[in-house]
Amino acid sequence: MKIFIDTADTAELEAAFATGLVDGVTTNPSLIAKSGRDFKEVTKEICSMTDGPVSAEVASTDYKIMVKEGRVLADLASNVVVKLPLTVDGLKACQDLTEDGINTNVTLCFTANQAWLAAKAGATYISPFIGRLDDLGMDGMELIGDIRALYDAHGYETEILAASIRSTAHVQDAAITGADVATIPPKVFNQLFGHPLTEKGLDAFVKDWASTGQSIL
């Protein structure tokens, strides 16, 4: 499963990319707004930091305007993925942009039926929102499994991009359930590295080694 980082903060991205484990980035209007910077400027800067895909979202909800915005975004950098809402207009725009050879990420998916329609529209990625379903007392991970089964049964190549991830358990379960990608907030990404027993064990090893008075170098 690939790892994308869900942020528009370039400092957070720089730290994440330094691990060598990150494959791409997702952004949205809310994340861009938090940065307080120009949308296009931030998008181009993020795209220059990685060869991987960078999702940048359209602002309109109108089909024709979304197509125009998508083409503008795609011209910002070769690794831009145009993010579109899962609406009738959004899927129409997805079809047009796909025909133009532009990669797309259809977002705000909450049912397997929606994911099926996005795949038929040619979406490169589908973004089911796990956490938001969990908030309603539903099982967001069940949706990942349903989409995986549907896509495998019919040979769809659209990649499942698990989104709205709130915890390391979400990341683990998404990988086990068959998501192709998980887009992870920086805080959760950093938590993936840690465990109290890892820290305890390492402390013991360091102390034991120091007691020998030896050096590997």
Q: Annotated active-site positions, please?
A: 83
Q: Cβ distance 54 to 29 under 8 Å?
A: no
Q: For the chain, what percentages of helix, strand and coil (3-state, to nearest 5) are there?
A: 50, 20, 30
Given the structure tokens 């996005």, which residue do they identify? 118
Parallel, antiparallel, or unpaired: how do β-strands 2-6 and 181-184 relate? parallel
Cβ–Cβ < 8 Å for 103, 135? no
List phi, psi (to 5°) of 24: 180, -170
Which two structure tokens, joined as six digits, stand for 102?
């532009």
H helix or E strand, kind and range, residue 98: helix 88-99
Strands of the chain, DSSP E: 2-6, 24-26, 54-57, 80-85, 104-109, 125-128, 159-162, 181-184
The Cα 87–Cα 114 span in angstroms is 9
